[in-house]
Amino acid sequence: MQSPVIEVNNLSKHYRVPVREAGLKAATKSLFKRKYNTVKAVESISFKIDPGEVVGFLGPNGAGKTTTLKMLSGLLFPTTGTSMVLGYQPSRRQAEFLGQITLVMGNRSQMSWDLPALDSFELQRAIYGIPRPEFEKTRDEYIELLEVKELVRKPVRNLSLGERMKVEIIVALLHRPKVLFLDEPTIGLDVTMQRRIRLFVEEYNHRTGATVLLTSHYMADVEALCKRVIVIHNGKLLFDGDLAALLERFSAFKTICVTLANGNGSFSHYGEVLNQDAGHFTLRIPREKTPDITARILAEQKVEDLTVEDPPIEDIIEKVFSQKSVEA
């Protein structure tokens, strides 16, 4: 049995934040007596991730996702608890550890703004001490995979957001890290560019067997890449398991879309009709009744087309966030 690449035990991060009311009086008062609040950004979370896994780390804004990634990448010291990544304690920030991981933040750049990305790649080679033949092979491979041959010769400031993100990904992966922490890597990108980045991460995972922990507000990223998801909310872990199990557990209904050959029909006796328009019907059916209802519709109606779908994953995740109990 393989030992986990990432192991987190009761990890917490609390911040002590000064607070005061608005106005001059409160400001003066705070000079003599300061009040502090303790913000529990992450509260006693535990999980393990095996080598090669791609795990979606989900939660609303302020849930503690980025704080957790920062603790796992050695940027932040945890308040309590322990974590091990690749057998290293991240907070010790050993060079051997940092040389084997990467953290990509969708809104942060590692590149020189004024120079072509090729120059930033060269600096990255020197930082990580990558042997030149290996560096050139990796660089050219990534350039081809992401189709950025022309872009890497332009100053970074002249690239669009999507183009810049592609070269950011290259710069972050040149040293072939074994663990990828991806924090909103597709934020602000159009669907085509999101897909391209997603495919690249998938390809990287297949080729190198790297472990990926990904946060994203785009559920398409999660559905495409992650078999397993970890959901946190208010710093606490709400769910850790297969994405399919999450859908099963939190989605009580399925949606059946029917198109009739003759355009007329009545569906209210099958279940709740969500939409009805020129021979197209959308029904909401309890999950356990879906096989029966589908069979009945096919037998009783002149069906031209029929599809059974899970509700949008966004709706399910929202439902998970509303759960209060800690599940694992």
Binding of other proteins at residue 98 (CB under 8 A)? yes
Of 6, 8, 42, 76, the one binding other proteins (CB under 8 A) is: 76
Q: What 3-state DSSP class applies to 204? A: helix
Of 99, 241, 265, 279, the one binding other proteins (CB under 8 A) is: 99
Of 34, 108, 206, 296, the one binding other proteins (CB under 8 A) is: 108
Of 93, 206, 227, 302, the one binding other proteins (CB under 8 A) is: 93
Binding of other proteins at residue 127 (CB under 8 A)? yes
Per-residue burial over 51-75, b = 16 or more CB atoms within 10 Å of its CB, e = otherwise: eebbbbbbbeeebbbbbbbbbbbbe
* Residue 139 CB partners (closer than 8 Å, separation 6+): 121, 170, 174
Instruction: Name which of 122 and 310 has its Cβ closer to other proteins.
Output: 122
Binding of other proteins at residue 31 (CB under 8 A)? no
**Among candidate residues 5, 79, 97, 77, the one with its CA nearest the CA of residue 47:** 5
Binding of other proteins at residue 134 (CB under 8 A)? no
The tokens of 22 are what?
């608005």
Of 44, 46, 52, 75, the one binding other proteins (CB under 8 A) is: 75
Q: CB of 275: closest distance to other proteins in angstroms?
A: 41
Residue 320 is given by DSSP the state H
Binding of other proteins at residue 128 (CB under 8 A)? yes
Q: What residue type is 267 in one-letter code?
A: F
Residue 188 Cα to chain centre, angstroms: 14
> Which window, 29-37, 91-99, 259-267, 296-304, contacts other proteins (CB under 8 A)?
91-99
Q: CB of 147: closest distance to other proteins in angstroms?
A: 25
Strand stretches in the chain, DSSP E: 6-19, 35-49, 54-58, 80-85, 101-105, 179-183, 211-215, 228-233, 236-242, 253-260, 272-277, 280-286, 303-309
Binding of other proteins at residue 125 (CB under 8 A)? yes
Which residue has tokens 């303790």? 38
**Using CB under 8 A as the criterion, which residues of the chain lie in contact with other proteins when the complex forms?**
15, 70, 73-77, 93, 95-99, 101-103, 105, 108-110, 112, 114-115, 119-120, 122-123, 125-129
